[in-house]
Amino acid sequence: MLNERPLYVALGDSLTVGVGSTLFQPNFVKLFHHDLEVYYQTPIERRVFAKNGATTAAILQSLSRPEVMEAVQNANFITLTGGGNDFLKAGKVWLKTGDFSVVLQATQQSLSHFDQMINQIITIHSNRPIPLMIRVLNLYNPLFYIPETNRWLDNYNQRLFSLERYPAVQVADIYHAFSGHEPQLLSFDHIHPNPIGYRVMAQATAALGFELTPFQTSTTFH
């Protein structure tokens, strides 16, 4: 059941900001917000807390800001993007030095940060236990032309699905939605999606459905 004033909160990095889209084209957040309103046939408020270049550590830290905590507490719908900047930084070091340990470290840190984010979101939301839906978007590969990157990113994305052990959480498989089509879906910077890429992201997320999970303070999370 929706709030009287349902709220969609978008958390994340440049993919939530919409970098790579154009001025007159909608980005992922606007597209998914529209899908929610069409499904529920009601106006839904939207609040965005995202920063270009944000790592998973920075997104996790943002959940301590009072305005973000208030929004998360009152949200029915939450989307979460992150991890791309962690891997781009690690990938640059790996390509320059051949040291693969930085990639393994980035994998572990990003997965740990996501786990902490979901825990924190659920803890904050428990202060007002209204029905909730959380969608985490996994990562497409902007370095798809380097075969090794596909192997370790696929491994990371598979491990990210472990977040679905939490009630209300589902992971949107952006990696496979983009796989094989990256040149058509990336913007001129070859890093961020173009408008078509953002539409593919929204479609992959919408394909999971829009059903809310009842939320009770007695619910246990592992």
Catalytic residue among 101, 176, 189, 190: 189
Distance CA 220, CA 218 (A): 6
**21 annotated active-site:** no
Which tokens hold the place of 65? 């800001």
Distance CA 201, CA 13 (A): 14
| Ramachandran angles phi, psi of 208, nearest 5° | -75, -10
| Ramachandran angles phi, psi of 49, nearest 5° | -125, 95
Catalytic residue among 13, 14, 113, 125: 14
CB 6 within 8 A of CB 44: yes
Task: Find, among 50, 64, 56, the residue nearest to 83 by Cα.
Answer: 56
The b-or-e profile of 28-67 (16+ CB within 10 A means b, else e) is bbbbbbeebeeeeeeebebbbbbeeebbbbebbebbeeee
Three-state DSSP at 93 gives helix
Residue type, 32: F
**34 annotated active-site:** no
**189 annotated active-site:** yes
Residues designated as active site: 14, 189, 192
